Amino acid sequence: MIRDPFIFKVLDISTGHMTLEDNEKLTNEAQDGHAPVYELREYGFLVYVGEIEENWPDDEVSSAFRKVLDTAKKLGCDYVRFDRDGREYPELKKFDW
């Protein structure tokens, strides 16, 4: 057994909680490798929460995307897994694209 393991908390959420523009930005950022985001086989993204304001300025992503990250941070999550089949949460805005 591993003593004192370091475990990440990840919020699983539908890509429907981001705008199409957010999706396009994440795709570009994942390909460029300059932002804390990783594309998950064309079905979603793994986004590092970290310093939200520094990594995801207001003028670069939607307020809905920022709200997801803020929610994850308040829940103590290190990452958000946006997945096309991820959970939908009625408390957060939903987009159909």
- 28-78: per-residue pLDDT in tens? 989 888 789 999 987 899 999 988 888 888 888 999 999 999 999 999 999
Question: For residue 21, what are its two tokens?
Answer: 């523009």
Of 16, 7, 13, the C-alpha closest to 72 is 13
For residue 25, what pLDDT is reported?
92
Rounded distance, CA 18 to CA 78, Å? 18
pLDDT reading at 83 higher than 80: yes
DSSP H or E stretch at residue 11: strand 10-14
**What Rg, from alpha-carbon coordinates, does the chain have?**
13
Q: For residue 80, count other CB atoms closer than 10 A to its CB.
A: 27
Question: For residue 3, what are its two tokens?
Answer: 């003593």
Q: What is the mean pLDDT of residues 67-95?
A: 96
Domain spans, the chain: 20-83
For residue 58, what pLDDT is reported?
84
